[in-house]
Amino acid sequence: MKNLIFCLSIITLLFGLYSCNEEESITPNDVPEAAFSQTDDHSPLAGEDRTCSMQQHMTQLMSDPAYRKAHQEKLTRLEGYAAERSANCTNPTVLPMAIHYQGISNPDVACLRELAISQIAVLNADFQGNNSDITNWDNNAASSFPGISNGDACIEFCLPTQGHPNGFNLSDGEPAITINQTNGDNASQWNGYINIFVRANLGALGYSPLGGNGNGDGVSIDANAFGTGSGCGSIAPASPYNLGRTLTHELGHYLLLDHIWGNNGGCNEDDEVNDTPVSNQPYYGCPNIGASSCSSTDMHMNYMDYTNDACMYMFSAGQATRVEGYVNTSLQNVIAKGNAICGTTNPPAPSCTDGIQNGNETGVDCGGPDCEPCAVAPTCTDGIQNGNETGVDCGGPDCEPCTEPAICAAPENTTATVTSSTSALISWDAVNGAVRYVVRYKVAGQNPWQNRSTTNTQRILNNLQPGTRYRYKVRTVCEDGRSKWSDTKSFTTDSSTSTECNANELQFDLTLDYYGGETSWEIFAENGSVVYSGGNYPNYQEGANVQDDWCLEDGCYTFAIYDDYGDGICCDYGEGSYTIADGNGNVLFTSDGYFSYVEYVDFCLGGDSFNSVQNRKSTKPRNRIKKSMPGSAKE
Ligand SMILES: [Zn+2]
């Protein structure tokens, strides 16, 4: 082990000028921290946390309205896609991949080809669930995740050796690898491929669009995180990111998998995959199995977390299904390219000179000696926005121009505040031109959705199930139509603390006025102790319903409902009211909500009856000072 440490130290200190031939894998604990003290600021090495700048990249991409729209359409298509997965993957969908090394002096071509092949082998093993360390899941981790299976996506990445685009001096028989022939994170000549750009000093281990297009775009990866083994000069995998998992993670993004904790952190956001537990933050390094957040065990061994290469080893079945769905609904151009150039060995080069596009020709026949390159107007008539189409598919002969009625923006910054075991408050930023908003919610993993609408920027959801995870989204309704839905988020209601009532069961039902923030209530027992209380509630939820169950022993009680402003809950600013009913829902007392600062209901319970009811309004006069109208700031 001493030699191993020495050898790694040399690599680190000299930035890969020397190569190390040790083949044993290194775990982080084997290497003293000091060995990595002199690291390049831009080079991710041991001791530094995993970094992925997918989210920043997406923020930039999504600033383009056309991209945003196209992205939303991908999600819509995926939603409408009925996954039909067979238990066995006998005929995987083949996806061609091209590797583009950038900024290499004195490249060792043979070594770089081997390195690329090592990386693609890792990708195929990881996505197909054939990785040797999946045993860590089977033997150690799986028991902490009852009911959740690891996933095997029925896809296969290939490194084509034929059908290369012109202009890169690549002959048939040579792999789709370029060296110092591309720049940045796009190579439009390589549309139809998933492109991997291996770049020095990237500033992060990697990044990718969340849902790539196969239009020349791809994944960028740092030169110190690509492939496995001892590397090739400056392109050298460095521990603990030397097992090829950085590209597994980034390619997950390319195939529409989000970070497992969502992105902003917290328990109200997740990754849109049903079987990955909600987690409130990334994990780094190599955490213990069983670590938890958000009341569930966290799946930090998932490729979409931030742990070390050696400590991530699985996708969930839900992630695999999402990947397959994305490939089949949005990457048809990549599938077509793969069908044409992967798989068979040494087929005749596609020829388009006959003016007929034959079955194995994916290019466009322009009458020249080759299918490609050939510029034609993108067509959108298929109802699918393909990788090289930037326009909007309206079913016409061309992507553009295409006019659609202007629609308003979807609400942003949606948040959920759980207010009880059966209720939650959803709120969002106001949208210009909004006439009203629709909140849609459902139990996670179940159907159907339920809708609630409001003219305000928040809405209470009532009658929810205790301890249950819900998904929700919000859309704007404006004069011209409706916006897209906001991103789907989730919340979990509090676990129920109620137990069966063996005394008098009462149901309290309160309808709020506009100023729920002024409303609260208490129940006093005869000795003056408060046995139940509620409020205050959110403002501007006029008509919203609040319910509470009371379980009271025989005896006499006083119910008091307060309005802090002194104008009751009816009728100047909305028509609030309340009822008290027995356990069977028979209403025992109804209030019109017209009082000043407080209204009392005195009642006694004997056996199972509700008797001696007396209603008292407070003697203080009702406050008639005019308040600001709903929607504007209140003093
Ligand atoms: Zn990432």
Give the CATH number, domain containing residue 166.
Answer: 3.40.390
pTM of the model: 0.52
459/190: higher pLDDT: 190
Q: Which of 601, 618, 610 is nearest to 524 (CA)?
A: 601
Q: Which of 327, 276, 386 is nearest to 89 (CA)?
A: 327
Phi, psi (deg, nearest 5) at residue 13 = -70, -35
Query: Confidence class of residue 322 from pLDDT cuts 50, 70 and 90?
Result: very high
Distance CA 238, CA 49 (A): 13
Phi, psi (deg, nearest 5) at residue 617 = -95, 150
Residues 35 and 154 reside in one and the same domain: yes
**295 within some domain:** no
Tens digit of pLDDT for each residue in 567-596? 999 988 889 999 998 888 888 889 999 999
Q: Is 250 a catalytic residue?
A: yes
**Contact criterion met (CB below 8 Å) for 103 and 222:** no
Residues 512 and 482 reside in one and the same domain: no
So what's the pLDDT on residue 115? 95
Report the separation in Å between the CA atom of 187 and the middle of ligand 1, taken as the mean of its atom positions.
22
pLDDT(27) > 80: no
Residues 99 and 242 reside in one and the same domain: yes
Residues 565 and 488 reside in one and the same domain: no
So what's the pLDDT on residue 84? 62
Tens digit of pLDDT for each residue in 346-390? 333 344 444 444 444 444 444 444 444 434 434 444 555 544 444
Residues 134 and 229 reside in one and the same domain: yes
Query: Confidence class of residue 630 from pLDDT cuts 50, 70 and 90?
Result: very low
State which of 307-311, 362-366, 545-549, 555-559 shows the largest mean pLDDT.
Answer: 307-311
Query: Confidence class of residue 403 from pLDDT cuts 50, 70 and 90?
Result: very low
Report the separation in Å between the CA atom of 226 and the middle of ligand 1, taken as the mean of its atom positions.
15
Q: b/e map of 172-182 (b: 16 or more CB within 10 Å)? A: eeebbbbbeeb
Residues 445 and 584 reside in one and the same domain: no
**319 within some domain:** no
Average pLDDT over residues 418-433: 89
Report the separation in Å between the CA atom of 34 and the middle of ligand 1, taken as the mean of its atom positions.
28
Tens digit of pLDDT for each residue in 200-256? 989 899 999 999 999 999 999 999 999 999 999 999 999 999 999 999 999 999 999
Kindly list the strands in the beta sheet with 519-525, ordered across the sheet, starting from the edge strand earlier in the chain.
530-535, 519-525, 555-563, 598-606, 609-617
Residues 115 and 8 reside in one and the same domain: yes
So what's the pLDDT on residue 47? 66
Those residues whose C-beta lies under 8 Å from the C-beta of residue 154, and which sit 6 or more positions away, are 85, 86, 89, 91, 92, 93, 128, 324
Distance CA 394, CA 326 (A): 21
- Segment holding 505, helix H or strand E: strand 504-511
Give the CATH number, domain containing residue 434.
Answer: 2.60.40.10
Residues 144 and 56 reside in one and the same domain: yes
**347 within some domain:** no
**Contact criterion met (CB below 8 Å) for 501 and 549:** yes
What Å distances lie between residue 108 and 202, 208, 619, CA to CA? 21, 27, 93
Report the separation in Å between the CA atom of 58 and the middle of ligand 1, taken as the mean of its atom positions.
11
Residues belonging to the chain: 635
Of 156, 250, 324, 542, which residue is the catalytic one? Answer: 250
Q: Determine the Cα angle at 532 with ends 527 and 533, to 5°.
A: 115
**457 within some domain:** yes
Tens digit of pLDDT for each residue in 290-301? 999 999 999 999
User: What is residue 427's three-state secondary structure?
Assistant: strand
**409 within some domain:** no
Last residue of a domain, one of 445, 463, 492: 492
Distance CA 262, CA 273 (A): 10
Residues 454 and 594 reside in one and the same domain: no
Rounded to a whole number of angstroms, the distance between the first and last alpha carbons of the chain is 71
Report the separation in Å between the CA atom of 130 and the middle of ligand 1, taken as the mean of its atom positions.
22
Report the separation in Å between the CA atom of 304 and the middle of ligand 1, taken as the mean of its atom positions.
6
Please name the residue that has the structure tokens 């994916």: 362
Question: In the structure encoding, which two tokens stand for residue 563, read together?
Answer: 């309005």
**356 within some domain:** no
Domain count of the fold of the chain: 3
pLDDT(311) > 60: yes
Q: Which domain holds residue 430?
A: 415-492
Distance CA 28, CA 488 (A): 37
Q: What is the CA radius of gyration of the chain?
A: 31
Report the separation in Å between the CA atom of 68 and the middle of ligand 1, taken as the mean of its atom positions.
19
Distance CA 159, CA 227 (A): 14
Query: Confidence class of residue 312 from pLDDT cuts 50, 70 and 90?
Result: very high
Last residue of a domain, one of 202, 230, 258: 258
Share of the chain above pLDDT 90, in %: 50
Query: Confidence class of residue 609 from pLDDT cuts 50, 70 and 90?
Result: low
**75 within some domain:** yes
Residues 13 and 158 reside in one and the same domain: yes
Q: If you average pLDDT over every residue of the chain, what do you get?
A: 81
199/421: higher pLDDT: 199
User: What is residue 527's three-state secondary structure?
Assistant: coil
Give the CATH number, domain containing residue 546.
Answer: 2.60.60
Of the listed ranges 116-125, 442-451, 495-504, 537-546, the least confidently predicted one is 495-504
So what's the pLDDT on residue 446? 77
Last residue of a domain, one of 459, 492, 525: 492
DSSP sequence for 552-566: E-SEEEEEEEEETTS
Residues 467 and 533 reside in one and the same domain: no
Report the separation in Å between the CA atom of 7 and the middle of ligand 1, taken as the mean of its atom positions.
30
User: What is residue 547's three-state secondary structure?
Assistant: strand
**Contact criterion met (CB below 8 Å) for 224 and 209:** no
Distance CA 513, CA 540 (A): 7
**565 within some domain:** yes
Tens digit of pLDDT for each residue in 57-112? 999 999 998 999 999 999 999 987 766 665 678 889 999 999 999 999 999 999 99
Those residues whose C-beta lies under 8 Å from the C-beta of residue 442, and which sit 6 or more positions away, are 448, 449, 450, 470, 471, 472
Tens digit of pLDDT for each residue in 30-48? 222 222 223 333 344 556 7
Residues 23 and 90 reside in one and the same domain: yes
Report the separation in Å between the CA atom of 241 and the middle of ligand 1, taken as the mean of its atom positions.
14
Report the separation in Å between the CA atom of 250 and the middle of ligand 1, taken as the mean of its atom positions.
6
Runs of H (alpha helix) within 149-285: 245-254
